[in-house]
Amino acid sequence: MGSSFDWKTQVVVITGASAGIGAALAREIGRRGGSLVLAARRRAELEEVARSAGAPSAVVVADVTRREDVQALAKTALERFGHVDVWVNNAGRGISRSFMELTDEDVDAMVRVNVKSALYGMQTILPHFKERKRGHIVNVSTMLSRVPFVSIRSAYCAAKQALNSLGETLRVELAKDYPDVRVACVLPGVVSTDFGLNALGGGPDSRALPGAQPVEEVAAIIADAIEARRNGDVYMRPEAVQRVLDFYRGLASA
């Protein structure tokens, strides 16, 4: 929205806000002047993020794989601030299992935390956005959902691809009657967080991997996308777009 965008009027809900990208995004939005509603399962960490953000905020302890917790999160946000402008579905978790090692519970866990949590968020906040005829849903996905080149993340890739598809379908559905309700899909690559260490089955420390992107840089790009009210895919680095195009050209010519 350019110069008409005013962070001081913006209320941003962030799930998975106790660490990693969610915590860094909260601090970045706080620095820019926005208000925050922060959700995760760990109260002490959430409260520390809220303090460090230095913004008007509400902290909600929630397990976003439970629909009733997500509904309670939205209720708290509306009671505290009167409206929501941006809902960031950031909660997620990886897995370190090759394709042939996957169990039913592995796949179910990936769907619960990476797909259902975001679905609940979108379904919960959408009536409010439609009533206001504006709003911004931001789903945090991964480059692996476009270019699945890490075999131990097989079920994670699949779950995030499902998240992408849900968001894209919703974006197309909204385009005619609610053009100012936007749906963005954020696609980070390797980010310097505890993501790898926290994956089911453990895994390599993301911070030790080549080319790992500082989490503060990722947060700034997401905040810029919110300010620009971006629709569709948001990549973290210019070369990422070319990598996706090359991958799909290869599929088409195979």
Query: What domains lie within the chain, and their CATH numbers?
Result: 2-253 (3.40.50.720)
d(CA 198, CA 221): 24
Q: How far apart are CA 10 and CA 30, in angstroms?
A: 10
Rounded Cα gap, residues 204 and 34, in angstroms: 34
Q: Strand pairing partners for 37?
A: 13, 58
Residue 37 near residue 26, CB atoms below 8 Å: no
What is the spatial distance between Cα 7 and Cα 237, in angstroms, rounded to a whole number? 24
pTM equals 0.95
Measured torsion, CA atoms of residues 241, 247, 252, 254, in degrees rounded to the nearest 10: 160
| H or E stretch at 167 | helix 154-175
pLDDT tens, residue order, the chain (254 aa) = 445 899 999 999 999 999 999 999 999 999 999 999 999 999 999 999 999 999 999 999 999 999 999 999 999 999 999 999 999 999 999 999 999 999 999 999 999 999 999 999 999 999 999 999 999 999 999 999 999 989 999 999 999 999 999 999 999 999 999 999 999 999 999 998 989 899 999 888 888 888 889 999 999 999 999 999 999 999 999 899 999 999 888 988 87
Catalytic center residues? 156
User: Amino acid identity of 236?
Assistant: M
Dist. CA 145–CA 161, nearest whole Å:
5
